[in-house]
Structure 1
């Protein structure tokens, strides 16, 4: 067996795990950590014949590593070394090393939290920081703390800052292997920003084929770019003997294995790959790497509650990983389709998936584990609170957790977790099975778990389901459809359902099935042709299609950019289906509110599904208490001016306010005070009243009077009278519109003989006198009548005597007889 760099540190690593429970290994790409370490540790006495579990982030890596280790000891996978990945397992009674994907470890922990029979758990390629690897490590640490002090945990990575993970593992020792890599020349080539990536990839490929020997590994962000590069290469005139093969996660296992194997003798190979080939997997024969510099990662938006794939620049660490693929077996070359200046601006590390992913699967696993608050576990990065909160809300809507108890799973929730699908899809499959539509739901789940297999602009999900069932003439990816058909067959088998394809008619139930999975994305058509989602967001179909006219549909895929999300995949649903099968989402509500425009209470009955109004009409007999509450809301919103205030009513209010100014024990009849206590004083008078016009029948003077006791009314009449009798004998009304300065408008001649200003409020407040001419025009305003008689009267007299010569203007007003006529009566 060839010696590898990792062999140099194997004794040190064995000693570390002999002395302590946890360890960290940092090994450069090509060191051989994945295939050497499990076999080297198999005979350690502390393992005590227990199994080793090694986590790989991808299925292709898990299968490849298991097969390689098995072959190195002269066996096939399933003997001493086996693997477990989704829908594919090769283990036997003698298996001591199990290479598993991250989700498989989670299921094993949920079934057996103590991991009985397992002595070591290895987390390989931990630098990729997948959500499930973070979860698996958090659960293993709790298992170690609560049940298994003897359980060993080893975290391995090629590019990771070792200190934080060592600290998380309780100060674990760090072992470093320098690895062995052949020199790789790096060539930077700028890509024109306005062009598509494939337009730069193909020229770089042709140049590399002409200038360098060996096979070529091309990194592209997704399957769409891979297909487009394939198409361009087919017409580019490649040299004879050059084969092109794709490599991405959704391919069948056989095709993936073929892509990573060495080229046939005398031929060259171009592998068009996503980031699946970045680590763990060695693509044999590669001497040239062409890196597009982009990666497609899931991003969850707490703003919308939706996740979508986003294309982002790679990190420096990822770029170095990709570059290293060219130097695994011999000197190589790496073409980077960006500039050195752009390289300096790349982030040093990729963002951990836990910071940006949909938290619903994690929240369900934690609920089944018995965790309500993620902070109960140890994390390298804790789940974001906003996204996690939305996830727990979704689980409650799906019936996966008990109402008001996010950490308590229902039996339905436990069954959902067992299916290993996204909670939305597992809920859909289980609900559909109850209706005899389980087969179609499994097919739909397979479609929704993968990329769109059809090349059509139509957003109609029914076309995809029909294609999977073999009932469509739409052009599509046949290999992808076969893969999805196999995945749905295995799900049907696991559920005990018939494994054949479901009926053509079942495609018409597509909208109902989607409603089970996406209750927050049931959409109602608006008058302008756009849609409103039940979750409250707006959405639209980008171009006119048959589904554009649907009254109701369910959006399975949305692009959440902009104000309105763009609907990418959807299916129609009938209103009758919503009432029949989504009754738990539908609520009857009444709305009794004040209509400001109509100045009246409006009562309506609505049938709602989230933000959607399914039916609406007037409510003929609303609850009187709600009517009164709406009326009071209107009064508070628009003010007491809605009430029929007369001048006497306002005067009474002002007089009471004046009394309160001088005696704090009096009732507060100010605007603010009356609004604050509306229910206490107005309720007895407004029973059955629903509009301003009906309020107009109220007697406000009587209502205000009733707010005062008999003693207060008597005191009011005594101290703040409505009228004052002046020397002429006239009863003149006092104007209290300004409680701080009540005034008496009286003709000057009626006050002859009055020496002092009249006072009210028990003599505390002088009345302001508006002295009038015989024509009732103001000639003087005063609060000091004595001073007026002494000084200002004589000037006023001159003016008035000239204008009103027939009237009586005495020289001494204090001794003159008052009169309400032109001249006093003669006795």
Structure 2
């Protein structure tokens, strides 16, 4: 009889009896176990009945418990393979026997497999294909606290499976730092929460070192990390290597940063210090991952990893963690079609997870490349994926599942705007109908195992460029197998020559997936086309002949089909003129061409990095661009040149008559414009424009230019001032003739406005006559606000209505004998009393008070200056005059 395996002494063993009892009683449980306790490896084996649990109670539970087939879902492929390998090693077996795994494009399992570890993406595909999950007795969702979108989705789907299809299906949510209340409520039934089981943490002490940079470094900007900070991380690694014992695990945000730090540390491997450096991220091969996860008995190791090593994964031999404190997070600009990643500061919870790696096997040390004060200012938890990710794939999965998003038992609701954007994308792909239900095409795209955009590009691109090239480009985009530089075509050719095994495996997988959803004759019978391919490819599709398309066109086609809103045209150059044929290798612009800024179909500006070989390309199909918050333009990370005519064919151009106000020419511009979304491809003058469009353009010009667009005579200006005074003094029925009122509409300018076609026509409108059309019929403007008033000399003096109060400017001597101030519409006129030379002497709205007071001071000062003019002591006693004393005799 075979001996039971020798189990590692891990804290989870004490919690296994309670876990088994909870599952036996309710079918569900929430397992909260800190890092390093063994929850990822020992718990599934115990749930499957492959290892015994300690204690009498556990023995009874194990003895009475039926044998189960357990499916363990991990959020990352690397953790999936590693967890399966560790569990198989505990049983003394190879993976594929009683413990197997399946990740995208790779599987090791057999009829004897009892515990199968899969990625959450694989689990979702199985659920959508058959919601009952036949042959599976229990599902473990690992690392729920990380709130990966696929984990949240799988939890919601499994809850429905248990409720409506298979109540006997077991479900365990396992996490290092789970929100117990959230998950027990989600897994509970009939108002009763699921039972919670906790494990004690590892007790190994961990010493904390705070190592902030001594010099000022720039904060992360999009995908860019300051090289000075990476140099500081490398120096911190060397300090930790000299100070503490054991292997080092270094957390960095991405593969590019890992490569740069590895280059800085490369001297450690050449100076005979007994140190090896390994890289651990999703882009490396399985063999390289296995080497990074294998301890060495003779040499110290430095493992440079992304956050895939935060949880689910034990890197053996590690006693030292150096944490750069950065993480890559989703960033989506739904309006401009630029989903992607950005670099952010890791949360305190993520930093604690990383620190836990140092104390898994014994006492350890953690070196954090920031200060303790800064640590306290960081966010407590990272934002869940569902709150900040592109939800297109999620929305297609829910459409295939059939339950409205609002009715799913998700850990958190998705943003309404992100759902709307996802549905708009899926409708453009033909993946969902107007009701939001999955179409036959959508279900086919969902089976491809890639983002719906890439699935569409693969299926429709194969019809244009051939299945082989379409699969190669799609695999490049899906695996992100990108080296330095932004020329994706060069990277594709580099992959071909280097025979990258992971990429080649993905190409084969996508080719198989493509074959499974296409008809036997090569036509896409399972996936109706959302857009009919060009005529020159239809014969090849129907006959199965090989499609002769160059690499340039193939790459551009697949990328443009995947990301049509990212097709971009360079601004500032000559207008695009359609040409015969397609782009080929010989006419691709070289790096010597002038650089510039491109404008995408979605309306976003995009710029290439300095020295980019893409700089001279008139058109680009952009696969990846980084648009940081606050930046007007995105930085192109990966793109290929595309022929302009091909871009219009793939994305779908339109021609429309565009009549608008040109602010530079300050006139109407009427053109027939060929457009590709926000891109103006070409334009020609429009001779006969729609009068309604012209009127709207002129109205826009009036709003932009203001009343200065019209030609105002002095008479029309004075008339408007008089009308404005009447409005202020009387109100209705006098019209509002303010700038805002007169530019808000053009009815007052009829009938001349409707006949205008350009600015010169507007300038000929008789503005004064148009204003008189606004006068109330029952009141006369000349009676209410006369243009002039008679002064005591009998002269008619013009009234100035341009201010708040009417102003009458008159020589002081002309007002002798007058007692009362003139009034207009009941408003006292403001008198500007002038000297004989016409200079202001006094301003008053109360003539009597002026005569009886200030006049005497004016008289004393002026009689010596103007002795020829009368300055009587009593202004009431003399007749008004505009003459000198001599003329009065």
| Class of the TM-score when normalised by the shorter of the 2 chains | 0.7 to 0.9
**2:645 counterpart residue number:** 576
**2:408 counterpart residue number:** 377
**1:121 counterpart residue number:** 139
Q: 1:414 to 1:683 in 2, by over 3 A?
A: farther
1:155 and 2:191 matched:
no
Q: 1:206 to 1:391 in 2, by over 3 A?
A: farther
Task: Tell me the TM-score normalized by structure 1.
Answer: 0.78
1:519 and 2:564 matched:
yes
1:465 and 2:484 matched:
no
Post-superposition offset of 1:103: 0.4
Tell me the secondary structure at the aligned position of residue 464 of structure 1.
helix
Post-superposition offset of 1:488: 0.4
Q: How does 1:264-283 map to 2 (within 5 A)?
A: 270=301, 272=303, 274=305, 276=308, 279-281=311-313
Unaligned runs of 5+ in 2: 50-61, 215-227, 523-543, 573-593
Tell me the secondary structure at the aligned position of residue 668 of structure 1.
coil
Unaligned runs of 5+ in 1: 471-475
Contact 1:555-1:571 at 8 Å conserved across structures = yes
Post-superposition offset of 1:158: 4.0
1:679 and 2:679 matched:
no
Choose 771-780 or 166-175, whichever is displaced more. 771-780
Return the match for 1:708 from 775, 783, 792: 775
1:301 and 2:320 matched:
no
Task: Tell me the TM-score normalized by structure 2.
Answer: 0.73
CA distance in 2, matches of 1:197, 1:665: 75
1:529 and 2:595 matched:
yes
1:440 and 2:469 matched:
yes
**1:322 counterpart residue number:** 357
CA distance in 2, matches of 1:175, 1:468: 48
Return the match for 1:89 from 107, 111, 114: 107
CA distance in 2, matches of 1:312, 1:789: 79
Q: 1:630 to 1:800 in 2, by over 3 A?
A: farther
Tell me the secondary structure at the aligned position of residue 101 of structure 2.
strand
Which structure: larger Rg? 1
Q: How does 1:282-681 map to 2 (within 5 A)?
A: 286-294=316-324, 297-302=327-332, 305-308=338-341, 310=343, 315-325=350-360, 327=361, 332=362, 334=364, 336-338=366-368, 345=375, 351=382, 354=385, 357-370=389-402, 373=405, 376-383=407-414, 391=422, 394-395=425-426, 398-402=429-433, 407-452=436-481, 454=483, 458-470=485-497, 478=499, 481-496=500-515, 505-527=550-572, 529-534=595-600, 535-561=602-628, 563=631, 564-583=633-652, 588=656, 590-593=658-661, 595=663, 598-660=665-727, 663-672=730-739, 674-675=741-742, 678-681=745-748
Q: 1:349 to 1:153 in 2, by over 3 A?
A: farther
Q: 1:823 to 1:587 in 2, by over 3 A?
A: same
Q: Report Cα offsets for 1:411-450 as digits up to 9, x if no partner.
A: 4443332211123322221220231433212111222233
Q: Report Cα offsets for 1:440-478 as digits up to 9, x if no partner.
A: 121112222335465xx54321122223344xxxxx5x5
Post-superposition offset of 1:487: 1.2
CA distance in 2, matches of 1:504, 1:401: 31
CA distance in 2, matches of 1:683, 1:521: 45
Q: 1:605 to 1:815 in 2, by over 3 A?
A: same
Contact 2:123-2:154 at 8 Å conserved across structures = yes
Contact 1:556-1:570 at 8 Å conserved across structures = yes
Equivalent pairs counted in the alignment come to 788
Contact 2:808-2:830 at 8 Å conserved across structures = yes
Q: 1:566 to 1:502 in 2, by over 3 A?
A: farther
Tell me the secondary structure at the aligned position of residue 479 of structure 2.
coil
CA distance in 2, matches of 1:813, 1:65: 112
Contact 1:744-1:767 at 8 Å conserved across structures = no
Q: Report Cα offsets for 1:344-365 as digits up to 9, x if no partner.
A: 9487977365155544433433
CA distance in 1, matches of 2:281, 2:787: 93
Q: Report Cα offsets for 1:270-306 as digits up to 9, x if no partner.
A: 58463555554556xx445443324774322346834
Q: How does 1:30-69 map to 2 (within 5 A)?
A: 32-42=38-48, 51-63=69-81, 65-66=83-84
**2:806 counterpart residue number:** 741
The alignment's C-alpha RMSD in Å is 5.1
Q: 1:696 to 1:823 in 2, by over 3 A?
A: farther
CA distance in 2, matches of 1:689, 1:710: 27
